[in-house]
Amino acid sequence: MSFDLVFFGGTGDLTWRKLMPALFQAFRHGKLPEGGRILAVARDDQTDERYREWLKERFREVDGAKRPTDEEFEQFAALIHYRRMDLAQADHYQGLKDWLDARNADTVVLYLATSPYLFTGICQQLGAVGLNHDKVRVVLEKPLGHDLASAQEINRAVRCVFAESQAFRIDHYLGKPSVQNLMALRFGNALFEPLWRRESIANIQITLAERLGVGTRGAFYDGTGALRDMIQNHALQLLTMIAMEPPSSNDADAIRDEKLKVLRSLKPFTAESVARDVVRGQYRAGSIEGASVPGYLDEVKVPADSTCETFVALRTEVNNWRWAGVPFYLRTGKRLAERDAQIVVNFRPVPHKIFPGASQPNRLVIKLQPEDGLELQLLAQKGTGHGEQLTPVSLDLDFDKAFATQRVGAYERLLLDAIAGRLNLFVRSDEQEQAWRWVEPILDAWAADTSGPRPYAAGSWGPAAASALVARDGFSWAEEQ
C-alpha cells in the first residue's frame, strides 16, 4: 500500500521531536508500509537535501536508543521530501495537490502539526483544491481549541471539508501501550469486569505527574494551563477508558460511543462545586532530584503576575448505575516529585475481618509511565505461625520486560494507525466537544475568582489542598499511604 504522509509544520518542534523519531522507529521495526513518502512542508525555502541535513542534526537531540545510525538515517531520509508552502497562499495548496496527484498514492495522510489557529484556514484551502477526496485523511494535533466554542469552530471547518471518518484527532495518551492494555485488561479478561463497579471499588485515582517545568514553552503554556493541556484531553480520555461500559465490538465507533456516554455522565461542575472539588496550583522555586529549579513566574516568557495553573487536582463522579457515588480523583502537574502516570483502582475493604491487625484494601495500579505495567496489591500470610498479621504483597507485571521486543511507542502506533485508517485510538468530535463542555464551568469559575492558584514548591506533590480534597472522603493519594 503506497502512502504519502504530509506534515504541515514540517520544521516545528512536534515534527522533529516526536513525529519524525516515531516514523523512524516504525521504519526501523519494519512496520512502515512499503512505498511511503514523507513530505515536510513549511515556510522556509530549502531543498530536500538541506531539510534532511537539518533533520539529521535534530536527531542528535533525540533519546539515544531512538537515534538512527548514519546508515539508518540515509535509508530513512530517502523517504523524506520537503516543500516550501505559505499556508495563506491558495496556489501553494494547488502545488501540493499537483505534487501528490503526480504519484496518486493509495493513501494521503495530512498531518496538521501547526498551531490550531491555522486549522480552519488549512482545511478550507485543502477543500478548495480538492485535497479531501476519499483517499485523504487529516490528522489534527492537540490543542484542539481553547474552549467549547473554538473547538466547535474547528470541528465545523473540518466537517465542511472532511467526513468524520477522515478526521483523526490525536490524543497521544491513547497511543501509549499501557492505555491499550487497559482495554485488554477490562474486555479481554473475565477476571476484573465483575468487580469493576461501585459495589467493589471505593475510588479511582488518575495521576499524570511530571517533573519537568514548562521549559521553553512558557508563552504557549501560559495561555493554556494544566486544565486545558492535560485534563480536558489526556486525563479525561483515561477516565473514559476506565469507566466505559463494554463496547459491542472493537470497532472505532462502538468504543467511541461508550466513551462519549461516560463523558455525558460526568457530574457537571457549578461555581460552588469548583470551589470545593477543584484545586489549582502554580509551582514556586524548589528542588528536583537535588537540583534547584526556578518557580513558574521566573520561567522564560511567563508574565510575572501570571495566574496560570501548573497543577490541577479534582474530584468528580460518573453519574450512572455502575459508578454512582464512587469518587474519581484526577490530578496533573508540572514540577512534581516524580514523573509518574498511573491509574490507581482502590477496592473496598473486606466486609468482615477475621485476621488481626489493620487490613489494607486491595489495589490495582495501572502504570503508564515511566514503567508500563500492572501491580495488584493483595494481603497474604508469611506463614510464621498462629495469630500472624496479614502482610501486603504485590503481583507485579512489567509489560516492558514481558514484551520487550514488540512494544511500540505512542506516536509510532498512532501514525501507523492513521496510515492504515484505523480510528480506534483517535478522538471523535463529539467526545472532544463534550470534554470541553464539562471543563468550561471550571474555566469560568476560575476567571471569576481572583484568589488565583495555590503555590506549591517544585519537587512536592502539589498544594496541601489536593491532599485535603481526597482526605475529605476518608481516602488519600497513593503516595501518602
Kindly list the residues in this chain that would bind ligand BG6 in the complex (CB under 6 A).
210, 229, 341
Please check if 87 is assigned to a binding site.
yes
Peptide linkage before 463 cis (omega within 30 of 0): no
Residues 6+ apart with CB under 8 A from 397: 373, 374, 375
Residues 6+ apart with CB under 8 A from 331: 205, 206, 207, 208, 209, 311, 312, 313, 314, 462, 466, 477
CA–CA distance, 160 with 123 (Å, rounded to integer): 9
**C-alpha cell of 322?**
455502575
Closer by beta carbon to ligand BG6, 210 or else 299: 210
Cβ contact 103:2 at 8 Å:
yes
Residues 6+ apart with CB under 8 A from 195: 201, 347
- Buried b vs exposed e over 439-456: b needs ≥16 C-beta within 10 Å? bbbbbebbeeeeeebbeb
Q: What phi and psi, each to the nearest 5 degrees, are found at residue 388?
A: -65, 140
Task: Give pairs for 161-167: CB < 8 Å, separation 24+.
Answer: 161/123, 161/124, 161/126, 161/127, 161/132, 162/123, 162/127, 162/132, 162/136, 162/138, 164/428, 164/429, 165/423, 166/132, 166/136, 166/137, 166/138, 167/137, 167/138, 167/140, 167/426, 167/429
Closer by beta carbon to ligand BG6, 210 or else 433: 210
Alpha helices in 214-300 (DSSP H): 218-222, 225-226, 236-243, 252-265, 271-277
Three-state SS at 48: helix
Closer by beta carbon to ligand BG6, 115 or else 250: 115
**Amino acid letter, 375:** E
* Smallest separation, CB 385 to ligand BG6 (Å): 46
CA–CA distance, 121 with 124 (Å, rounded to integer): 5
Strands 167-169 and 201-209, by their bridges, are unpaired
> Tell me, what DSSP letter sits at residue 336?
B
Closer by beta carbon to ligand BG6, 14 or else 379: 14
Cβ contact 318:266 at 8 Å:
yes
Please confirm, yes or no, whether 29 is among the known catalytic residues: no
Please check if 135 is assigned to a binding site.
no
Cβ contact 286:457 at 8 Å:
yes
CA–CA distance, 230 with 236 (Å, rounded to integer): 8
Closer by beta carbon to ligand BG6, 197 or else 339: 339
* Smallest separation, CB 25 to ligand BG6 (Å): 15
Please check if 86 is assigned to a binding site.
yes
CA–CA distance, 143 with 211 (Å, rounded to integer): 21
Total residues belonging to the chain? 481
Q: Which residue's Cβ lies closest to ligand BG6?
A: 229
Closer by beta carbon to ligand BG6, 229 or else 372: 229
User: Using alpha carbons only, what angle is made at residue 285 by residues 284 and 288, rounded to the nearest 5 degrees?
Assistant: 115
* Smallest separation, CB 341 to ligand BG6 (Å): 6
Please check if 229 is assigned to a binding site.
yes
* Smallest separation, CB 215 to ligand BG6 (Å): 9
Catalytic hit among 81, 92, 133, 234: 234
Please check if 61 is assigned to a binding site.
no
Closer by beta carbon to ligand BG6, 85 or else 227: 227
* Smallest separation, CB 139 to ligand BG6 (Å): 15
Closer by beta carbon to ligand BG6, 166 or else 181: 181
**Residue indicated by cell numbers 491509574:** 343
Looking at the annotation, which residues are catalytic? 234
Can you say which residues are annotated as belonging to the binding site for NADP(+)? Answer: 43, 86-87, 142
Extract the annotated binding site: 43, 86-87, 142, 172, 176, 210, 229, 334
